[in-house]
Structure 1
Amino acid sequence: MKGYKKMATIRQIQHFLVLAKELHFAKTANILGITQATLSSEIKKLESSLGFQLFDRSNKWEITLTAAGESFFNSICDIPDMLKSAQKNAAGIARGDAGILSIAISSFIYDYFNLGEVCRIMREKYPAVKLQIYDIMRSPQVAERVRHGKADIGFFTISDPEKQTSGLKYKKLLPIELKLAIPQNHPLAARKEISAGDLKNCHFILPPREEAPHLRKHLDEIFMQKCQAVPLVPLEVIGFTGIKQFIAAGHGIGFLPELTGKLPKNIVLREVPFQLPRMLIAAHRENNNSPIVRNFMNLLGESR
C-alpha cells in the first residue's frame, strides 16, 4: 500500500531497550540469546521503520544513543512493565477473577434476598473484582438496565419468566407471595377470608398497564372469569412504596409483597383468593459471556 510504513515490532522494541541499557552489541546479543548479526539487523529494521537513527556507531569500539534515540528510550522504557501489567489484568478478566461487575436490584428485594451475603462470598473468592450495586425502585427499570447493557446482572421480579425474559438468561431464585392489602376502614378488612367475587366492586390501586402488562392482563382474565368484569382501577401508581401509601390513605386496595418493609398500622394483609404468580430472578443479557458474570451466577445455584 502506497505511503504505508511498517510498524516497529515488540521484539524490535525489546532488543532496542536492552541495547540502549548495555550499549554493547556482543553483550546484548548474549543476554537476548541471539547472534550479533541478528541483533544488528533488528535494530536497523527498527531505525528504518522509525525514520531516524537510534545509535551513533561512528566509534567502532563504543556505541552511544543519539539524541533521538535517548528521547525514544525515555518514552518507551516502561513498555515491558506495561505489557506485563496488561497481560496480568487481561488474564484475570479472562478467568473472571478481576474486573468490574455491576448489579442492579429492585429495592424491595432486599427483604427477600440477602444480596450482601452473596457479594461477601464473591469478594472472598475473587478479591480483585470490583462490585457496583445500583439500588433501583422498580423491577421494569432493573430489567431494562440489564437489557441495555447498563448493568451486568439484575435482580427483579416478574409474573412469567418464560415470556418476560426475551434476550436474557436467568435463574429462578424464589417465588414472591403477593398479599391483598386493604385499608383498615375498608369493609373487607374485617374478613379473615375473601373470595374473588368479593372484589368485584372494589377500587384497586395498580401499576399502569404499560408498566406491568402481564400482571394487568392476568388480573383482567381472572376477574372476567370470576366476576364477569375487569378490576376497577381509578388510580394507577408505579412502585410498591407508592401503592402502599395510597392504600394507607384509603384510596383503594392493592397487592403488596408480604415483606415489603414496615406496613402502616392502618393496612391489613389478607390471602389473595386466586393465584398471582411472582418470581424473583437474577438475569443477565443472553450475549454477555463475561467470566465474571458466569462466576457470580454460579454462586446462585443451578442455571435455568
Structure 2
Amino acid sequence: MRAKYRERLPQLDGGLFLTDGGLETTLVFHEGWDLPCFAAFVLLDSARGRKALRDYFDRYVPMAIAAGAGFILESPTWRANPDWGAKVGYGREALARSNRAAIALLLELRDQYETAASPLVVSGAIGPRGDGYDPGALMSPDEAADYHGFQIGLFRDAGVDLVSAFTMTNIGEAQGIAHAAKAANMPCVISFTVETDGRLPTGDTLAKAITSVDEATGNGPAYYMINCAHPTHFDHVLDAGEKWTRRLRGIRANSSRMSHAELDNAPELDMGDPFELGGQYAELIRRFPHINVLGGCCGTDHRHVDCISTACRNAA
C-alpha cells in the first residue's frame, strides 16, 4: 500500500501537530478495560474493542481540526512485538494480523477526518522489547535491528508514513531501530524516556543518547521525542545552545510528577493538573519553538491535550 506522507513528513515543515495522550491508561483506568501486559492491540480482535479504539481517537482528531493543527495518528501497537505478543498468547502470524489491523484503522480515520489544513500522519508505534521503565537485558544494535525489523516491515507494507519508537530506555535498542528503519526505507522517530534526573534509565544523558544514535546511523531518525516523563524531569537538561536539542521535535509528557517506580506501584491514576501541564508545554515551546509535535503519555487524556493545544497556540 502506498503511503501518503512517507516521502515528505508535513510536521518537518513546522506548524502545530497534536497527537494523543495515554492510550493504555485511559482504557484501563477510565474505561475499565483489562489489558494484559498493557497491550492495547488485543482490542483489535473484537468489534467492541475496535469501537473503543475508534471512540478514543474520535475525541482527539476533531480537536486538532478545530485548532487548524495537524495530527499524528499513533497505532495501538506499543506492545505488539514478538516477546510481549507471546506473553499474551500471540504468535507471529496473529501479531502480524494485529499490526496490519491497527494501521487499517488509522487509515480509515484519516479518510474520515483529514482536511487540507489538518494533515493526518499515520505512524506505526513501536515499544521496547523489555519494560518501558527498566532497560533490563540490553541488546546490541544488530540484535535490536533484527528484533524490531519484524514490526517495521509490517508497518512499511501496511502503508504507514513513519514508524515511532516510544519509551526507549537505552541507546543500543534505539540505534537498532533506526538502522532497521533505514534499511526498510522508512522514516523513523525515536522517543526516549527519562527518570526524574533527566537521564535515561541506563544513566546515560539525553544528549549522549541522541548524539550517539545520530552518529551511529548518519542522522537516521527524522527527529527525536521525549515521552513518559513529567516536564520537570527533563526541562533542566535542555539547553537551547546545544546542537542536539535541535533534533528534538516532539513531547509526550506524563501529567504526573511521580517517578517511574512510583507510577508502577500506584493503585490509582494520577492525572496531575491539565492546565499546569499546558503551561509547562507552552514554556518549553517558547524556549524551543521548533518543537511542534505535542501530546501526552501516562495519565493524560484528551482534556490534557486540549489544554496543551490551547496554551501552545497562545504561546506562539
| Greater strand share, structure number | 1
Same fold (TM over 0.5): no
- Under TM normalisation by the shorter chain, which class is it? under 0.3
What is the TM-score when the length of structure 2 is the normalising length? Answer: 0.22
- Kindly name which structure, 1 or 2, has the bigger radius of gyration based on alpha carbons: 1
| Greater helix share, structure number | 2
What is the TM-score when the length of structure 1 is the normalising length? Answer: 0.23
